[in-house]
Structure 1
């Protein structure tokens, strides 16, 4: 996830918190310039999936003796896939934690 995507998610979470506190009226659905959180999350998961597939394909090519598959490229692709998966896992953990915190709030 890039820095701008994270900032957009944080801005959306702040807006939702402000609405929950009663400081703001809820924003209209799908205003121009706003990103749908569900779509952003799905796109991020798909990017991680593609990185995993690419790394797996490179590793398989290298294992089969393909001369075009360089060990350095394979290792870099595997590390990128691993880091992106770890980042996605951390985001999931934060979202679950936020959801649990919201569910435990008194109304």
Structure 2
């Protein structure tokens, strides 16, 4: 399977939204009152959070391996498991997004 450029995918989805002529409030409604967001922004922030968790877990694991006095095994293991769960969730969301995109692209017009 070839890799899909997520930015290109999001641009195509935005173009489809514009072409469908749905009201902006139906698709781009604010997620939180006074704080409008779009799927691309939410997805980008989520991926950044996953990356930050991965880096934090790696730093905690490295400090534990070095034997730093402040390194705690329980805290390190919890951070590693949180990072693992976040990564698995991000991969599942990406897989669902690709499946949805493929389903839409295979629809007859």
Q: Please, which runs of 5 or more residues in structure 2 have no aligned partner?
A: 1-15
Q: Please, which runs of 5 or more residues in structure 1 have no aligned partner?
A: 1-15
Post-superposition offset of 1:46:
0.2
- Greater than 4 Å deviation, 4+ residue runs: 28-33
Determine which of 76, 79, 83 is the counterpart of 2:78: 76
* Cα distance in 2 for residues equivalent to 1:68 and 1:81: 20
Count of residues in Structure 1 that have an aligned counterpart in Structure 2: 88
Post-superposition offset of 1:56:
0.1
TM-score by length of 1: 0.73
Post-superposition offset of 1:25:
3.0
What does 1:1-107 correspond to in 2, within 5 Å?
25-27=22-24, 33-107=35-109
